[in-house]
Amino acid sequence: MGCGGFTCLKNALCALNVVYMLVGLLLIGVAAWGKEFGIVSSITIIGGVIAIGVFLLLIAIVGLIGAANHHQVMLFLYMVILFLVFLFQFGVSCSCLALNESQQEKLLNATWASMTNQTKEELEKQLNCCGLFNDTNIHKEFSTCHAILGVWLAVRYRNQKDPRANPSAFL
C-alpha cells in the first residue's frame, strides 16, 4: 500500500517519537553538561531544561508505545498532550509577537532593574557584555511544525483499522 496507509503512518509516527526521544535526551544531556562545566550556574534554569527534557521523553514514550501497539487510548492521550503543547507554544508566540519594540524595551528595563547585582554580574560575565543593551543579541527562529505534524500523524493513524486486528473484537 502507498504512503498514507497503515504501515506508513505507523512508521512515520514511530520515527517522529524516536526523534522526540532523542531531543529529550539531548536536553537532559546538555543541561547536565552545562552544569558540570560551569557554563550555566543557575540551578533553576538547569532544573527547567531537565524537566522539559524528561517531559518530552515521557510524551515520546507514550506516543511510541501507542503507535507501536495501535493503542487507541494512548494515542488519544498523546494527541491531546501534543495539542496542548501546541496551544501553549502558539500562545507564547502570539504574546511575543504582540509586544512592539518599545514594550520589549520597557519589559527588559523593568526586569533588569529588579535583578540583584550578583545576577547582573553573572549575566555580564557569561555573555561578555557590560550593561543591558549591547551587540550580543541573538535571534532564534521558533517553530511549532513538529507539534502539528505529531497531532496530524496521530489522528490519521488512530482512525485507521489495524489489518491484523480481529474484526469481532470491541477495541
pLDDT in tens, 79-90: 999 899 889 888
The domain total for the chain is: 1
Average pLDDT of the chain is 78
Residue 122 binned pLDDT confidence (cut-offs 50, 70, 90) = confident
Does residue 67 belong to any structural domain of this protein? yes
62 grid coordinates: 507514550
Does residue 167 belong to any structural domain of this protein? no
- Centre a 10 Å sphere on the Cβ of residue 78 and count the other Cβ atoms it contains: 27
* H/E segment holding residue 10: helix 6-36
Does residue 138 belong to any structural domain of this protein? no
Does residue 50 belong to any structural domain of this protein? yes
Does residue 1 belong to any structural domain of this protein? no
Residue in this structure with the C-alpha cell 473484537, named with its chain if needed: 169
State the residue range of the domain holding 62: 7-129+143-158
Position 144 scores a pLDDT of 54
In angstroms, the CA 63 to CA 9 distance is 13
Does residue 17 belong to any structural domain of this protein? yes
Q: For residue range 133-167, what is the model confidence (pLDDT) as tens digits?
A: 654 444 344 455 556 666 666 666 666 666 676 66
Does residue 49 belong to any structural domain of this protein? yes
Does residue 136 belong to any structural domain of this protein? no
Q: Among 37-46, 55-64, 85-94, name the one with the lowest average pLDDT.
A: 37-46
Stretch 78-106: mean pLDDT: 84
The answer to whether the pTM exceeds 0.75 is no
